[in-house]
Amino acid sequence: RLDEVDLPERVARQYPFELSGGMRQRVALAASLASNPQILIGDEPTTALDVTTQREMLDLLERIQGERDMALLLITHDLGIARERANRILVMYAGRLVESGEGADVFTHAQHPYTAGLRDSDPPLKHRLVLLPAIAGSVPRPSEVAVGCVFAPRCDRADDRCRTDTPELNGTTSQVACWKPITKADTPHLIQIATDVQAQNTGTDLVVVKAVSKRFSPSAPLALDNVDISIRLGEAVGIVGESGSGKTTLARCLIGLESFESGNISWMINAPMAQRAQIVFQDPTSALNPAMTIGASLAEALRVGQRDKSEVPALLQLVGLPAEYARRRPHGLSGGEQQRVAIARAIAPKPKLLICDEPVSSLDVSVQAQILNLMNSIIKEMGIALLFITHDLAVVRQVVSRVYVMNNGRVVESGTMENVLLSPQHEYTRQLFSSVAGK
Which chain residues interact with ligand SF4 by CB under 6 A?
A: 112-113, 149, 151-152, 155, 157-158, 162, 167, 178-180
- In the complex with ligand SF4, which residue's Cβ is closer, 116 or 372? 116
Which of 114/325 has CB closer to ligand SF4?
114
Give the nearer residue to ligand SF4 in terms of CB position, either 162 or 379. Answer: 162
Give the nearest distance from C-beta 45 to ligand SF4 in angstroms: 30
Please list the residues that pair with 230 across neighbouring strands. 208
Among residues 410, 432, 412, 411, the alpha carbon closest in space to that of 421 is found at: 432
User: At 353, is the secondary structure helix, strand, or coil?
Assistant: strand
CB closer to ligand SF4, 155 vs 393: 155
Crossing angle, helix 21-33 and helix 51-68, to 10 degrees?
Answer: 20
With vertex at residue 396, the alpha carbon angle to CA 240 and CA 205, rounded to the nearest 5 degrees, is: 75
**Rounded alpha-carbon distances, angstroms, from residue 178 to 100, 113, 147:** 12, 8, 14
| Three-state secondary structure call for residue 434 | helix
**Smallest gap from residue 324 Cβ to ligand SF4 (A):** 27
262-267 and 205-214 strand pairing:
antiparallel
Q: In the complex, what is the shortest distance from the CB of residue 153 to ligand SF4, in angstroms, rounded to a whole number?
A: 8
DSSP state letter for 325: G
The least distance separating ligand SF4 from the CB of residue 105, rounded to whole angstroms, comes to 19
Q: Residue 159 or 381: which CB sits closer to ligand SF4?
A: 159
Rounded to the nearest whole angstrom, what is the least distance from the CB of residue 133 to ligand SF4 in the complex? 16
SS3 205: strand
Give me the least distance between CB of 148 and ligand SF4, in Å please: 8
Tell me the DSSP string of 77-122: S-HHHHHHH-SEEEEEETTEEEEEEETTHHHHT--SHHHHHHHHHS
**Nearest to ligand SF4 of 111, 282 (CB atom):** 111
Q: Are 54 and 61 in contact (CB under 8 A)?
A: no
Q: Backbone phi, then psi, for 315, in 5-degree steps?
A: -65, -45
Question: Which residue lies nearer to ligand SF4 by CB, 182 or 395?
Answer: 182
Minimum CB–partner distance for residue 124 and ligand SF4 (Å)? 24
